[in-house]
Amino acid sequence: MNPDSLSLRHALLALAVMAVWGSNFVVIRVGLDHLPPLLFATLRFSVAFLPAALFLKKPDVPWRNLAAYGVLIGAGQFGMLFIAMKGHISPGLASLVVQTQAFFTIALAMRLTGERVRPFQYAALALAAAGIGVIIWRTDGSATPLGIALVLVAAMSWAGGNLVARRTPGVNMLAYVVWASLFSIPPLLTFSLIFEGWPAIRAGVMRADTLTWAAVVWQAVGNTMFGYAVWGWLMARYPAATIAPMSLLVPVFGMAASAVFLHEALPGWKLAAAGLVMAGLALNTFWPRLRAAFFAR
């Protein structure tokens, strides 16, 4: 088997992860029907931590690394994303805009290493920024400037989490995510108590039905445990350049699931905006390989 080419079985596994991660934006929307966003995020990471931590040994990484990842991904990424999706941006557009994490990851990495941005990365960023601009300009109420800003903050936090995780190569990613969840809970719960308040928390829990709790469990088990475990397993067996491009399918599944299950409209301008963002992400991902294949001969 070619180590740079996904086998059919492993390609289907990667596709399943992308489907879970993309459709998860619809699940988030379902959970937010009854639960305040910060409480929902708190419950998500609580279920991700327990009972899994009783069966998974803490990974051999410093506590400060787990804490940094947990705060960035918990309070930063999902806290901001859940707030944004509570009436400020639709699930389909959220799944698209949050993928700008790729550009924030590059920017932060270059800031730390002193590398210079290459021309193709400027072009990729310009395409993605044009797509975000179309969303802001032509929005039909499915996204507000506040919603887009919150999702961009979530994307930046995700990028920070990526850089923290990269400092622990070879770690069991499932155990890493489970134990990092311990540090997501305190800031999310604190912010929920401060900004949402105990009456809203109590009312949300009382209103929550079976579908709401299923959304919480799916966030923890499907999105975190299955998604990250399989993704980490594949990343350990194939070059990153082989696996990473699969993440471009997340907004495809996200927008499709939102259209099918939530009847989110997909007018021409929204598809054009998605095309621009996806083109930017694709250029950023594939250009180095294309240049090596066709121009380095």
Partner residues linked to 143 by β-bridges? 89
159-215 pLDDT, tens digit each: 888 888 878 877 888 899 899 999 999 999 999 999 999 999 999 999 999 999 999
Q: So what's the pLDDT on residue 2? A: 47
Among the listed residues 109, 142, 155, 187, the one whose alpha carbon sits nearest the alpha carbon of residue 277: 155
68-102 pLDDT, tens digit each: 999 999 999 999 999 999 989 989 889 888 888 87
| Average pLDDT, rounded, for the chain | 86
Mean pLDDT, to the nearest integer, of 48-54?
A: 92
List all residues 6 or more positions away from 223 whose beta carbon is below 8 Å from its beta carbon: 20, 21, 24, 27
Mean pLDDT, to the nearest integer, of 146-157?
A: 93
Q: 9, exposed or middle or buried, with CB in 10 Å at 0-12, 13-18, 19+? A: exposed
Distances (CA, A) of 73 to 10, 200, 226: 27, 24, 17
DSSP for 107-135, please give it. HHHHHHH-PPPPHHHHHHHHHHHHHHHHH
**How far is 155 from 76, CA to CA, in rounded Å?**
9
Describe the crossing of helices 173-191 and 37-49 by its angle, rounded to 10 degrees.
150
Using 50, 70 and 90 to split pLDDT, how confident is the model at 244?
low
Half-sphere exposure for 70 (CA within 13 Å, toward CB): 26
293 Rama sector, left if φ>0, alpha if ψ -120 to 50, beta otherwise: alpha
Q: So what's the pLDDT on residue 110? A: 76
Tokens of 173: 């990613």
Using 50, 70 and 90 to split pLDDT, how confident is the model at 239?
low
* Cis bond upstream, residue 3 (ω within 30): no
**How far is 116 from 111, CA to CA, in rounded Å?**
9
12-35 pLDDT, tens digit each: 888 898 899 889 999 999 999 999
105-150 pLDDT, tens digit each: 778 877 776 667 678 778 888 888 888 888 878 766 678 889 999 9
**How far is 150 from 78, CA to CA, in rounded Å?**
10
Q: So what's the pLDDT on residue 1? A: 45
More confident residue, 293 or 120: 120
Tokens of 164: 């923290």
Mean pLDDT, to the nearest integer, of 244-254?
A: 79
